[in-house]
Amino acid sequence: MLFYSTNHNAPDVSLKNAVLNSLPPDNGLYMPQVLSKLPDTFFNDFYDYSFPEMCFHFAKTLMNGTIEDDALKGIIDDAINFEAPLVELEEGLSVLELFHGPSLAFKDFGARFMSRLMSHLVAGDDNNLDILVATSGDTGGAVALGFYKTKRIRVTILYPSGKVSKLQEKQLTTLGHNIRAIEVQGTFDDCQALVKQAFLDKDLNQQLMLSSANSINIARLIPQCFYYLRSLQLVKDRNRPVAMCVPSGNFGNITAGIIAKKMGMKMHRFVAANNANNVFTQYLNSGSYDPQTTIPTWSNAMDVGNPSNFKRLMDIFDNDVNKVKKEMSAYAFDDEATLIALKEMYDKYEYIACPHTAVGYLGIKQFLKENPEYQGIFQATAHPSKFIDIVEETLETKVPIPEALAVLKDREKQATLIAVDYDSFKEYLIKHK
């Protein structure tokens, strides 16, 4: 199976090329040339599959024989070794918890699958791989843990100084070995721009074999399809239409859901929940797309002013806002509403959520108000303890810290501080080759 660029101005490439090069030379994003329909056998056995079995059969269809069955099975069994439980809050409203992986955020699905896939793809090559990744918080931790000690792959994580939580920062700056962190005196969009520039820098690419682990990489999107299907396996009422609300930033998560639907998944509606960074919501309302500078919020992993996966969505929906509206709704909520929602979930359901999840809760509630015939699911994209200060302050209660995070508290941060300046970044990469 081949992959094309959403800008349609670059050659089609193999899976290996799409995954290792990450960005096509025409500055588009890679997409699978065909989105094969899931076969009838998949749906016949759907409710009998275990989670990894279902992932395997889905990925086999999506990847269309590019990887041998045994290898694909191995990658999935190793990567998807934690659950995505569906917790019912009340009749017709459930939360899909995606934070049971090692970094306690949904990005573990993407990062763990990707590291194992990359490892498989470079087995037998001569060169070492350098992965550059920009993070607004959770990607860094997931990628750091997902690639930690992976042979012949080194990871460089760029994060915006002072704009990630303390525990998030610990996750990406304390591992050492093949993982290094760069603290950028700017925003997430600045970090993302530095990484993009590095990929387009011919000179640098002759010196290093660069690859990306951001949500622009197609390898991240594949495993993010899995839990949408999982939620449909777990849902109690199999006959009532399902609306899935996704707290969104770069829109990689929700784009994966749309891809799965294109392949035949029976999800009836996608709801994007934005924080104050609401360019997508505005796009659905007005039909015009106007990137903004980033506004910092409590749901910082969604602080994105120009969502990178917008290009993929436009490609899927032929640049037609009316086609988008047939599948997707979108709502935006500010910080004040987010914190009120956090409190409401605790008071009503004794459910402790992270701020991103609270935005998702607001999104599904709004949608269900307008469309009561649906059952609603919203995604819990991170564990509340990753944002412990604001959650404890809002709920006036202690948030239990899982062991995986607790151990990081005393570890020493190791990061290189740089200004938003491409030349300094490049110099660092070359000097520390």
Ligand X SMILES: *Cc1c(COP(=O)(O)O)cnc(C)c1O
In the complex, the residues that contact ligand X under the rule CB under 6 A are 105, 107, 138, 215, 247-253, 301-302, 356, 381-382
Which CB, 191 or 382, lies closer to ligand X? Answer: 382
Query: Rounded to 5, what percent of the chain is helix, strand, coil?
Result: 45, 15, 35
To the nearest whole angstrom, how small is the minimum distance from the Cβ of residue 342 to ligand X?
14
Which CB, 229 or 330, lies closer to ligand X? Answer: 330
To the nearest whole angstrom, how small is the minimum distance from the Cβ of residue 141 to ligand X?
9
Which CB, 173 or 250, lies closer to ligand X? Answer: 250
The string of DSSP letters for 279-316 reads HHHHHHHHS----------SSGGG--SS-TTHHHHHHH
Give the CA distances from residue 120 to residues 1, 75, 153, 208, in Å, rounded to whole numbers and listed in that order: 17, 8, 12, 19
Which CB, 66 or 255, lies closer to ligand X? Answer: 255
Give the CA distances from residue 345 to residues 37, 165, 311, in Å, rounded to whole numbers and listed in that order: 38, 22, 34
Q: How many CB atoms lie within 10 A of CB 397?
A: 11
To the nearest whole angstrom, how small is the minimum distance from the Cβ of residue 380 to ligand X?
8
Contact (Cβ atoms closer than 8 angstroms) between residue 293 and residue 305: yes
Which CB, 99 or 346, lies closer to ligand X? Answer: 99
Cα separation of 307 and 248, whole Å? 9
Position closest to ligand X via CB:
138
Q: Which of 207, 216, 204, 178 is nearest to 423 (CA)?
A: 204
To the nearest whole angstrom, how small is the minimum distance from the Cβ of residue 19 to ligand X?
18
Contact (Cβ atoms closer than 8 angstroms) between residue 317 and residue 328: no
Which CB, 138 or 189, lies closer to ligand X? Answer: 138
To the nearest whole angstrom, how small is the minimum distance from the Cβ of residue 213 to ligand X?
13
Which CB, 96 or 122, lies closer to ligand X? Answer: 96
To the nearest whole angstrom, how small is the minimum distance from the Cβ of residue 301 to ligand X?
3
To the nearest whole angstrom, how small is the minimum distance from the Cβ of residue 382 to ligand X?
3
To the nearest whole angstrom, how small is the minimum distance from the Cβ of residue 166 to ligand X?
16
Give the CA distances from residue 219 to residues 18, 91, 146, 251, 433, in Å, rounded to whole numbers and listed in that order: 8, 35, 13, 15, 25
Cα separation of 78 and 76, whole Å? 5
Which CB, 66 or 215, lies closer to ligand X? Answer: 215
Cα separation of 122 and 431, whole Å? 24
3-state secondary structure of 241: coil
**DSSP state letter for 382:** B
